[in-house]
């Protein structure tokens, strides 16, 4: 059993999750949660590790951190999004400072390793929103990559994988209110197999709405996860 802890990108209601594209012989448990932060996801993981239902799990795919940059970014776009950020931050506690992020991320990795899990760390994805701080995403990913080396875990650089598939420098906007997000969500709920239509309509190469994966990105990550799991299994077999 493999625990897949993450946010809405892992969950896959908005856009496509990588999990349905993964090896069907593997038992991947989707533990994605909409709007999840690093700290919130790490707390949830601690609870899952104690649950009887997940006692057979031996691997964690850890994919968190996107909202720690995304929500503060949105909070500066309009009064509505600022209020959304403040309300969500009460519960989620986003880590918009890289030093704070690194501290909480390292504690999460230590916790997984202490409990004997094989660990696959997934970096933050490529975002196609206007004015998005991609430099900050790269800095956070550098931090995660460094931790993967320190704690001898797998690291998947989904950002670079997606970036190589970006042919057009296109971005989109979530607007000043939430109306567009509601419309997108309704469409994807009613037509779950046609989400790529939004990607094509907006000329976005790797996302459906600037953030959530289109099927290309989901497949890229699923393939990378498959390779990472094979490497972890090979390392375990050597011991």
User: Structural domain boundaries of the chain?
Assistant: 2-238
Is residue 34 a contact partner of residue 7, using CB atoms and an 8 Å limit? yes
In this structure, are strands 28-32 and 2-6 parallel, antiparallel, or unpaired? parallel
The whole-number average pLDDT for the span 111-132 is 96
pLDDT of amino acid 47: 93
Residues with Cβ within 8 Å of residue 92, at least 6 apart in sequence: 35, 36, 37, 39, 40, 67, 71
- Answer whether residue 53 shows pLDDT above 80: yes
Is residue 131 a contact partner of residue 72, using CB atoms and an 8 Å limit? no
CATH of 2-238, one of 3.20.20.70, 3.40.50.2000, 3.40.50.1110, 3.40.50.10470: 3.40.50.1110
The whole-number average pLDDT for the span 202-210 is 96
Closest-CA residue to 188 (of 3, 15, 42): 15
pLDDT of amino acid 85: 81
DSSP 217: H
239 pLDDT tier (thresholds 50, 70, 90): low
pLDDT of amino acid 146: 96
What are the beta bridge partners of residue 6?
32, 63
Is residue 188 a contact partner of residue 108, using CB atoms and an 8 Å limit? no
The whole-number average pLDDT for the span 188-193 is 92
Is residue 45 a contact partner of residue 38, using CB atoms and an 8 Å limit? no
What confidence tens digit (pLDDT) does each residue in 134-157 have? 999 999 999 999 999 999 999 999
What confidence tens digit (pLDDT) does each residue in 93-105 have? 899 899 999 999 9
pLDDT of amino acid 234: 81
DSSP 152: T
Cα 152 off chain centre by: 20
């Amino acid at each position: 059993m493999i625990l897949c802890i993450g946010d809405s990108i892992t969950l896959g209601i908005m856009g496509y999750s990588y999990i349905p594209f993964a090896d069907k012989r593997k038992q991947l448990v989707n533990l994605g949660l909409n709007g999840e932060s690093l700290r919130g996801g790490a707390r949830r993981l601690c609870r899952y590790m104690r649950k009887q239902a997940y006692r057979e799990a031996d691997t964690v795919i850890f994919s968190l951190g996107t909202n720690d940059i995304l929500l503060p970014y949105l909070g500066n776009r309009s009064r509505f999004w600022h209020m959304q950020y403040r309300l969500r931050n009460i519960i989620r506690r986003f880590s918009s400072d890289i030093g704070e992020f690194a501290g909480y991320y390292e504690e999460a990795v230590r916790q997984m390793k202490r409990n004997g899990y094989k660990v696959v760390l997934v970096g933050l994805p490529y975002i196609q929103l206007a004015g998005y701080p991609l430099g900050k995403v790269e800095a956070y990913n550098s931090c995660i990559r460094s931790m993967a080396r320190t704690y001898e875990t797998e690291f998947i650089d989904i950002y670079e994988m997606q970036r190589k598939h970006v042919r057009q420098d296109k971005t989109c906007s979530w607007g000043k209110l939430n109306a567009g997000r509601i419309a997108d969500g309704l469409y994807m709920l009613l037509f779950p197999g046609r989400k790529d239509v939004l990607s094509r309509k907006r000329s976005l190469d790797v996302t459906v709405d600037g953030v959530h994966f289109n099927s290309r990105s989901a497949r890229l990550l699923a393939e990378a996860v498959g390779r990472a799991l094979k490497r972890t299994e090979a390392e375990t077999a050597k011991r």
